[in-house]
Amino acid sequence: MNTESELAGKVAIVTGGSRGIGLGISRELAVAGARVAVVAMNAERTGAAAAGLHGEGHAAYSCDVSDGAACRETVASVVEAQGPVSILVNNAGIARDGLLLRMSGDDWSRVIETNLRGAFNMIQAVARGMIRKRSGSIVNVSSVVGLMGNAGQANYAASKAGLHGLTKSVAKELARRKVRCNAVAPGYIETDMTAGLDESAVGKLSARIPAGRLGKPSDVAGLVRFLAGSGASYITGQIIAVDGGMAM
């Protein structure tokens, strides 16, 4: 199949699509022919990201995914302006790291509300339309930390492990309606989220990764594009690591 037309005519929502992994995914889906709705908090960055995508028909939406009403309004705006949604990528995420005994309740809640509740909010907002069309692909961006746990990231790991349960439950509920739901679990990827790591930390991390390097947003985006497209039509409920072999 010609990769430039693989997703032609499809509307894709990418949350957190304004930078990092989400921007990589927005770019990849646009190159494959989708009309992308870039959803993030910062309006300026979100607008610039949508404007820079390959092709036409993309748009930017400023929305806090932890706010259910805002998600419903955003999805309604996307459907009105761009058409029915075929692809939802729940990529928006934050980290508020700290050791368990020092972690504040606020840091716990904010991470769960954004990373897990945010995905629930967006899935609920798009599901009816996908069921009606008997077609849809939902991809949740999780983390290997959701599979392995990580000291200093109890909130983040719990949110990502929660995404795995959400992914499998949605997959089971919606499979008969031809709506698929999968998760990708990146390892360490070079973005703003990991920009604080100094050279020695990157060196130590790389030594733990069989591929010997951190990943790039494009490493994750290629898998998301595959899961979004018809080549993955018999794949649902899966958690697929993109981590250079780290979580084997």
The 10 Å Cβ neighbour count of residue 114 is 22
Exactly one of 86, 121, 135, 143 binds ligand NAP (CB under 6 A); which one? 143
Would you give the binding string for ligand NAP spanning residues 173-202, x where CB under 6 A is met? -------------x-xx-xxxx--------
Per the annotation, the verdict on 188 as an active-site residue is no
Report d(CA 157, CA 183) in Å as an integer. 14
Exactly one of 94, 157, 161, 183 binds ligand NAP (CB under 6 A); which one? 94
Report d(CA 180, CA 131) in Å as an integer. 10
Would you give the binding string for ligand NAP spanning residues 40-59, x where CB under 6 A is met? xxx--x--------------
Report d(CA 46, CA 61) in Å as an integer. 7
Going by C-alpha positions, the residue among 191, 189, 167, 172 that lies closest to residue 90 is 167
Contact between 89 and ligand NAP per CB under 6 A: no
Please enumerate in sequence order all residues whose Cβ is within 8 A of that of 26, keeping only pairs 6 or more positions apart, or say none.
14, 17, 36, 38, 49, 50, 53, 58
* Window contacting ligand NAP (CB under 6 A); options: 63-71, 129-137, 202-210, 227-235: 63-71
Contact between 72 and ligand NAP per CB under 6 A: no
Footprint of ligand NAP on residues 218-247 (CB under 6 A)? Answer: none
* Window contacting ligand NAP (CB under 6 A); options: 3-11, 35-43, 123-131, 200-208: 35-43
Query: Tokens representing 136?
Result: 């849809």
- Distances in Å between the Cα of 184 and the Cα atoms of 36, 45, 161, 228 are 19, 24, 12, 12
- Distances in Å between the Cα of 214 and the Cα atoms of 18, 93, 144 are 21, 19, 13
Exactly one of 7, 10, 11, 15 binds ligand NAP (CB under 6 A); which one? 15
- Where along the sequence are the contacts to ligand NAP (CB under 6 A)? 15-16, 18-22, 40-42, 45, 63-66, 91-94, 114, 118, 141, 143, 186, 188-189, 191-194
**Residues annotated catalytic, as ranges:** 156
